[in-house]
Amino acid sequence: MLYATVHQPPTPVNGQLRMASRGVSANSQHLIRDGAPWFPVMGEYHFSRQDAGAWRTGLERMKQGGITVVSSYVFWHHHEEQQGTFTWSGNRNLRAFVQLCAELDLDVVARLGPWAHGEARNGGFPDWLQSLPIRHRSNDPRYMAQVRPFFAQIADQLRGLFHGDGGPIVAVQLENELYDQPDHILSLKKMAQELGMDAPLWTATAWGGAQLPDGEVLPLYGGYPEAFWEDAHPGWARGSRKHYFFSHIRDDHSIGADLRPMAVAGAETNGVPAPFATCELGGGMPSAYHRRPIIPAADVSALALAKIGSGSTWQGYYMFHGASQGRGALSSLQESQATGYPNDLPVVSYDFQAPLGEHGQLRESYHRLRAQHLFLAEVGGELARMPMTAPDTVPATLDDSDTLRWAVRSDGHAGFLFVNNHQPASDGLAAKSGVQFQLTLADGGQLTVPRQPTTIAAGAHFVWPFMLPLGGGATLLSTTAQLLTSLPVGQRKCFVFSRTEGVATGFEIVLDPDDGGPGQTLHLAVPESPDPVELSVTDGVCILVVDGPCALRLWKAEFAGATRIILADSLVASDGTLRLDITAPGQEIGIYPAVERVTALPGPHPGSVHKLGRRGPLSMFAVQAPAEPLATVLPVQLRQAAAGPAPVRTGGSQGRAAAPLDGDYALAAHFQLTFTAGHFRAGMQNLLRIAWTGDAARALLNGRLLSDNYWNGLPWDIDLTGHHEELLRHGLTIQAFPFNPEAPIFVDEAIRPGHGSLEMHDVRILHQGCITLAGS
């Protein structure tokens, strides 16, 4: 038996942060919006690192994935690459991006810098600024005189878009990873306010023991499943281990550790009680030349769940949508050893293995996180009030893999039990048998979950509610299923749960008595079935149970005149229709409550739909893509064999492996891809996918760098959309080096190639369009 005792939470402290609320504020426990607890879910999306024509689709996908707040850096070198010449048009149009967020009912956090990092050249400082003989990132009057015109430009761009004016901007972040100058952060805040920036919340990153001005900013934290900024040592980055435990510790001294001399001793709340808020939970991880980790989807979702279970009241992901660095008028724009940084990042690609990739690719991590975000949308307000309680027995050290990792968030009576039995596979956790939890509540009552001991599967991570009011005279005492969401179904409220892998699904529900006596308790056991199961609880309450694979295909959307559950591979809901990506010849979709008819609307790729019948309470439909092929395999012509591996060099402040220089690629293998008009589908995204093995590679279009890749075992994707005419004339040149196992480079040992490995395994164009559905 595993034990925990929960207590009535203390009354939160109010007014401790000096911020004008404008309807949004924070006490010591949680954020507040319009007088009620608020649990935002934030995702990073860099508007200036993506074509403006892709913003809407990217933002729609983020919103459909449960993101409610969009954060973005305002990179100084993107807007004032040449001193005194500002650019706010095209994909640099900050105002248009924020207005689009408002149109889509998404809040915004503007991360102003001036220094941003974000794996940008000079951390986002323009070269002209970086070269000035001043003390950067300080209150040096010469530096602040340069910041003021930049901030004034931002203020003009954002005028009228702050929350107090009815706009979407709810917060402004000042600086980034500045750990030892609280007075400078305060000076930046005062300057921004003087220039008319009037955000309800002001924030600053607090990791690394950062010293922040007391009461002036809300501290934000982070945590990553891996760390490209560590050396090329074998195995998992040890600094990431802590993020797979439940803990009251918020700080992570490993983030940005390669850019500061040492961890400092700042307090986690800097003397002012503040809610646990995050802005950089790793949605993935980029590859640096010297270190190239692969981030499985479960590593992302387990870390995110561990933070919720540890008391997070603001989930913030970096990155949620991948990006491309682009090119400046004067230079490349990425972090590099040549600009004094420890790491060489790809010149163009900033895919980040994010839930939404560089070109909008949907990844498994997107689906896993969406399930968590449905849960937060359902109970976030209640959960925000609940602090974390550690169990009586906790893991002894970060190397303790035997003690089950679990925690409780509760108001003393009701709450949620969190379990994480996952950490990255190189050091995974085994199944735990004979598990049963006993919770002692604030009134002395006890609750045992589940009724019989069970086994927690290796890799499992989940949350179970207890004492959850269902309405209609019913209270859920306990369950072994995960709450996803709820929706009205006729006159009833239906709660949607997903099964927990390897655990028998059951519900204990108490019904309110009619005569004031003890209520009836229902013990509902749900037989194993791949099909969704509907349970009737009362005249006003029902439960829908789906299995794990269905939970990853589960969306909530307005369709055919009602809120419905949709099972589909992808989905964007808009104006009562469903937009599905064409990524396979066909897929089955499920709809609950059931509908009689679904039709494909006219469009460039209408496809077809026919009804299949029922799967449990869901109506099922087969959606067929147009008959044309969804992929075209391309032949690869070897024009020049590689003279050998890339030259082995080290550089930067940490002496790490350095990426090949432009001139080195004359010695690389040269491959040529030739295109015909039939290779491109009108009205579709044409995504080149290269499965290969090697070291470093780049794709050149008529001599211009289009994309680059440091091989880590994952496919290399290049969006060809918008380049069709040039590709027809010039083709695409791929220059690539074979892998050198003697070079100080980390890749996963399970896939580490031998000497001289260079192979183009499969090169194809994926033709990706969409089908729009209406229902009745």
Burial of 750 (0-12, 13-18, 19+ CB in 10 A): exposed
Among 93, 119, 94, CA closest to 109: 94
**Those residues with Cβ within 8 angstroms of residue 137's Cβ, 6 or more apart along the chain or in another chain:** 114, 115, 143, 175, 178, 181, 184
Instruction: Report residue 724: phi and psi, to 5°.
Output: -60, -45
**Those residues with Cβ within 8 angstroms of residue 676's Cβ, 6 or more apart along the chain or in another chain:** 728
Among 468, 452, 460, CA closest to 543: 468
Whether the link from the prior residue into 450 is cis, omega within 30° of 0, is yes
Tokens 């009134």: give the residue. 443
Instruction: Report residue 366: phi and psi, to 5°.
Output: -60, -45
Burial of 204 (0-12, 13-18, 19+ CB in 10 A): buried
| Interval 220-259: pLDDT, tens | 999 999 999 999 999 999 889 999 999 999 998 888 777 7
Instruction: Report residue 181: phi and psi, to 5°.
Output: -135, 70
The backbone region for 752, taken as left when phi is positive above 0, alpha when psi lies in -120 to 50, beta otherwise, is beta
Burial of 145 (0-12, 13-18, 19+ CB in 10 A): exposed
**Those residues with Cβ within 8 angstroms of residue 466's Cβ, 6 or more apart along the chain or in another chain:** 414, 415, 416, 417, 439, 447, 449, 476, 477, 478, 479
| Percent of the chain's residues with pLDDT above 90 | 91
Q: What is the model's pLDDT at position 19?
A: 86
CA–CA separation, 547 and 531 (whole Å): 8
Given a contact cutoff of 8 angstroms between Cβ atoms, the answer to whether 42 and 109 are in contact is yes
Angle formed by the axes of helices 55-64 and 94-103, to 10°? 40
Q: Would you mind telling me the total number of residues written for the chain in this entry?
A: 776
CA–CA separation, 585 and 766 (whole Å): 12
| Interval 256-300: pLDDT, tens | 777 766 555 554 656 789 999 999 999 999 999 999 999 999 999
CA–CA separation, 189 and 733 (whole Å): 48
**Those residues with Cβ within 8 angstroms of residue 440's Cβ, 6 or more apart along the chain or in another chain:** 3, 4, 5, 6, 446
Across the range 328-338, mean pLDDT stands at 97
Among 374, 381, 394, CA closest to 463: 374
Given a contact cutoff of 8 angstroms between Cβ atoms, the answer to whether 199 and 168 are in contact is no
CA–CA separation, 772 and 729 (whole Å): 34
| pLDDT band of 45, cuts 50, 70, 90 | very high
489 membership: H or E segment, kind and range: strand 481-489
| 256 or 174, greater pLDDT | 174
Q: What is the model's pLDDT at position 762?
A: 98
Label residues 702-738 b or e (16+ Cβ within 10 Å = b): eeeebbbbbbbbeebbbbbeebeebbeebebbbbbbb
Cα 418 vs. chain centroid, distance in angstroms?
A: 20
Give the gyration radius of the chain's Cα atoms. 26
Structure tokens belonging to residue 564: 């419905």
Cα 77 vs. chain centroid, distance in angstroms?
A: 25
Given a contact cutoff of 8 angstroms between Cβ atoms, the answer to whether 541 and 504 are in contact is no
Given a contact cutoff of 8 angstroms between Cβ atoms, the answer to whether 395 and 420 are in contact is no
Structure tokens belonging to residue 587: 């897929």
Neighbours of 142 (CB within 10 A): 12
Neighbours of 16 (CB within 10 A): 17
Whether 319 shows a pLDDT value over 80: the answer reads yes
Among 719, 717, 711, CA closest to 669: 711
The backbone region for 286, taken as left when phi is positive above 0, alpha when psi lies in -120 to 50, beta otherwise, is beta
Strands (E), 116-238: 169-174, 201-205, 218-223
Tokens 């990706």: give the residue. 768
| pLDDT band of 608, cuts 50, 70, 90 | very high
Across the range 379-399, mean pLDDT stands at 97
**Those residues with Cβ within 8 angstroms of residue 517's Cβ, 6 or more apart along the chain or in another chain:** none
| Interval 110-129: pLDDT, tens | 999 999 999 999 999 999 99
3-state secondary structure of 424: coil
| Interval 442-501: pLDDT, tens | 999 999 999 999 999 999 999 999 999 999 999 999 999 999 999 999 999 999 999 999
| pLDDT band of 386, cuts 50, 70, 90 | very high
Model's pTM, two decimal places?
Answer: 0.97
CA–CA separation, 114 and 99 (whole Å): 22
| Percent of the chain's residues with pLDDT above 70 | 98
Among 776, 774, 771, CA closest to 608: 771
Q: Rounded to whole angstroms, what are the CA distances from 453 to 436, 456, 503?
A: 5, 10, 10
What's the start-to-end Cα distance of the chain, in Å? 51
CA–CA separation, 480 and 398 (whole Å): 27
Across the range 370-396, mean pLDDT stands at 98
Given a contact cutoff of 8 angstroms between Cβ atoms, the answer to whether 342 and 229 are in contact is yes
Structure tokens belonging to residue 755: 């000497």
Q: What is the model's pLDDT at position 255?
A: 86
Structure tokens belonging to residue 606: 């209408």
User: Parallel, antiparallel, or unpaired: how do β-strands 650-651 and 656-657 relate?
Assistant: antiparallel
Average pLDDT taken over every residue of the chain: 95
CA–CA separation, 303 and 245 (whole Å): 8
- 102 residue type, one letter: A
Given a contact cutoff of 8 angstroms between Cβ atoms, the answer to whether 246 and 406 are in contact is yes
| Interval 145-172: pLDDT, tens | 999 999 999 999 999 999 999 999 999 9
| Partner residues linked to 201 by β-bridges | 171
**Those residues with Cβ within 8 angstroms of residue 58's Cβ, 6 or more apart along the chain or in another chain:** 45, 50, 321, 356, 360
Whether 77 shows a pLDDT value over 90: the answer reads yes
Strand arrangement of the beta sheet that strand 31-33 belongs to: 24-26, 31-33, 36-38
Residue ranges of alpha helices (H) inside 638-766 are 724-730
CA–CA separation, 574 and 101 (whole Å): 15
**Those residues with Cβ within 8 angstroms of residue 145's Cβ, 6 or more apart along the chain or in another chain:** none
Whether the link from the prior residue into 593 is cis, omega within 30° of 0, is yes
| Interval 512-545: pLDDT, tens | 986 555 789 999 999 999 999 999 999 999 999 9
Q: What is the model's pLDDT at position 425?
A: 79
